[in-house]
Amino acid sequence: MKTIIFNIRNGIVITILFLGLNACQQSQINSSMKAPIAEKIEKELSIHGHTRIDPYYWLRERGNPKVIDYLNAENEYKEGMLKDTEGLQGILFDEIVGRIKKDDSSVPYRDNGYYYYIRFKKGKEYAIHCRKKGSLEAAEEILLDGNRMAEGHDYFAIGGKSISPDNKLMVYGLDTVGRRKYTLYIKNLETGELYPESIPMTVGSGSWANDNRWIFYTHKDDNTLRSDKIFKHNLGSSTDDDVLVYHEEDETFSTFVYKTKSDKYLVIGSSSTLSDEYRFLDADTPAGEFRIFQERERGLEYSIGHFNDHFYVICNLDAQNFRLMKTPVDLTGKENWEEVIPHRKDVYLSDIELFRDFLVLAERKEGLINLRVISWETGEEHYLDFGEEVYVANISVNPEFDTLTLRYGYSSLTTPNSTFDYNLKTREKKLMKQQEVLGDFESSNYESRRLYAKAGDGTMIPMSIVYRKGMDRNGNNPCLLYGYGSYGYTMDPYFGSAKLSLLDRGFIYAIAHIRGGQINGRSWYEDGKMFNKINTFTDFNACAEHLIGEKYSSAENLFAMGGSAGGLLMGAIINLQPELYKGIVAGVPFVDVVTTMLDEDIPLTTGEFDEWGNPKNKDSYDYMISYSPYDNVEAKDYPNLLVTTGLHDSQVQYWEPAKWVAKLRDMKTDDNLLLMHTNMDAGHGGKSGRFRYHRETALEYAFFLKLSGINK
C-alpha cells in the first residue's frame, strides 16, 4: 500500500484541525454529543479543463495520527448516538449466534484417497481443518487448528489449502491483518512440522507440480495489490531462489495459477474485465515452458478445463451468453474450437463440471440456476428438479472424475443451506446435510416470492422477497431492500439465519436484482456498467417505488443496504431520490469514484477501467462525475445513515467513506442520524471469526430497529 503524506506539499506546511477525540472525551456519551467536524483543507483536482475542490483529501494520510484520532472520534460519536440500542444489540447478537450450531462440521468430500472436512468446537471462533484416510471411520488428522493459530491476532484468515499429490505435504496461506496479503507456509503432514521458508505477499494459495517438490504461486504487488507475477518455489530452498515463471505486465490484467481437475496440467490465467488468456504446462514437467492456449483478444472471454484428450472451453466467442467448446490438447487456438453446447439468447452458461461418464452444466434461465446433466456415451440429458419459485442451486466441491456422484448446494430465502449428493445415473438425490437453525425456526412460517418492478425505460426488474406469513400489505411494514449491481455478480436469494431477527420483528426482506448483475444473462450486466451505469441506480429506486406503491412498505418504513460497489449504489440512490428511504446502511462504500479511478497507485484501479471507465478519458470522466456519490453530495435532506469501513480495507480504502461522511455532515440540511463505524483491526470483510463479525450485524440491525421504533 502506498502511503501519501500531505503534511508538506509545494513547500507549504499544512495544519489539520478538527473537533476530534479530545472534544468527544469532554462530552458525555449520549444523544446530545456533538459530531466530529473535519476541518476543510482545500485540494484542487484538475483534469480535462475541469477543477474539483476536495476539502477532505487529507483524510487519505493513513500515517497521520490526526486521521486516526478522527476515525476514533467518529467511532465514539457513533457509540454515543446508539447508546440506547446497546441492550438491543446484545439481544440481537445473542439471537443471531444462538441460532448457529456450535459443534458443527461440513460434509466430507473425497479427494485422492482422503476425506476432507472442517469442524467447529463450542466456544471457538475458527474452523479446524481435518481429514481421514480411506474412510470416515478412520482416525482424524488435524491439518490446521484455526483457533490455536489465531491466538494473539485481532484478525485471522486462512487462505487456500493445497495438498501435494503424495498426500504428505500442504501449502496454505495466512492473513493476520485483513488486507488480503497472504503469507504461504508449507507443512509436513507426516511430522506436523513447518518448513523453514515462508512466502509473503501472495494471494493465499499454491499449486503443486506432480513431483511433490515445486509449488507454483501468485505474487501480489505491495502497492496496488494486483496479482502480477507467477513464481515457482522448490521445496526446502530459499525463497530468494524462487523462479519467476510469468509476469503480467498489463496493469489492466491480473494473473493466477491453478491445477486442472485431471491433475494433468498446471494453468496460468490472466484476466481483465473483457479479456482472458491462458497458458498451460504438463504438471509432470515443472521445469518446462508454459504454452499459450489462446492469445488475448479484447472482448474474448473464456475459461478452460481438461478431460481426456480435450480441453473444454466456456467462451463468449460469437455468444453473448457463452457457449461450450472443446479442442484437442495439442491444437488449442480458437480456430480449432468445436461447439459442444450452442449459444442461447435466453440461457446464460455459468459453469461446468466434468466427470468420467457425465457432463454437468450450470445454466441460468429466467433468473434461476438450473443443473443440466448430459451422458458422454449416449448424449441423453435431463435437468434436476428443485420445486421452489425462488431458490439458489450451485455445483459444489467435486474433486474426483471417476464417480457417479454430483455434489451440489441448494438454498432459498426460506430453506436453510443444504448439501445434496446426486447419482447422475439413477437420478437419486440424497440430502447429506441441511444447515441446522437452532431455536424455534420453522421454514413453513415464512413465505418468499418473486416480484417485478418497472424501470423508467420499461424494463422489468426482478426482486426476491421474504416475510413472515400473515404479513398485511397496508404500507406500514418495515422493509429492508438489499442490492449490489456490479461486476456481473448476482445477489442470489440465499438463506441467512441472521435475517430472522428482522423477519420475526415484522420486517420484509427484499433483494433488488438490478442491472449490473447477471441474473438475466450477460446483457443484464452490460446494461448496468460503463455508460449504462445509471441503470443500476434507477433500477434500485424503481424497486423501492414498487414496494411503496404496492403497499409492502412506505417511505417512512423503507430501508436500504449495500456494501462495496453496493455502497456506491447506496450513495447514488440517495443522491437521486433520498425521499424514498427512512435509513441506509452503506458498508465499505466505493463512493469517491472519480478520484479513486484516477489514482493507479491504489488497489483495484487499473483492472477496473472496463467496469467503470477510465476517467483519464473525458467521456468517461464526465459520465462518472455525474453519478459519483461523493462528488454529488448536495445541500438537501438525506435519510438516516450508518456507514461502515475497515482501516485495513484492501478493496475500498477507508478514506472514501470517511470523506463522504465528512462532506455529508457539512452539507446535509436535515437532523437525521449520520454515523460512521470504522473497524480499526480489520479490512473489507470486517471482523474475522465465526461469531465476532455478527457484532456488526447486530449493530446494523439495531440501527434499523431504532429507526422503526422497535426496541426489543
Burial 239-270 (b: 16+ CB within 10 A, else e): eeebeebbebeebbbbbbbbbbbebbbbbbbb
Any catalytic annotation for residue 554?
A: no
Q: How many residues does the chain have?
A: 712
The catalytically annotated residue of 421, 684, 688, 694 is 684
Identify the three-state secondary structure at position 67: helix
Give CA angle at 130 (124, 132), nearest 5°: 145
Q: Which residue has the cell 447422475?
A: 424
Distance of CA 503 to the CA centre of its chain: 24
Any catalytic annotation for residue 27?
A: no
User: Who's near 10: CB < 8 A, 6+ residues apart?
Assistant: none
The answer to whether the beta carbons of residues 576 and 633 sit under 8 Å apart is no
Identify the three-state secondary structure at position 389: coil
The answer to whether the beta carbons of residues 99 and 499 sit under 8 Å apart is no
The catalytically annotated residue of 205, 270, 464, 564 is 564
The catalytically annotated residue of 276, 492, 592, 649 is 649
Task: Give dist(CA 426, CA 387) in Å, integer.
Answer: 19
Burial 540-561 (b: 16+ CB within 10 A, else e): bbbbbbbbbeeebbbbebbbbb
Any catalytic annotation for residue 684?
A: yes
Q: Which element (helix H / strand E) includes 537?
A: helix 534-549
Residue 309 sits at φ, ψ, to 5 deg, of -95, 10
End-to-end C-alpha distance for the chain, whole angstroms? 43
The grid cell for 32 is 446530545
Dihedral, CA of residue 186, residue 187, residue 189 and residue 190, to nearest 10 = 110
- The residues carrying an active-site annotation are 564, 649, 684
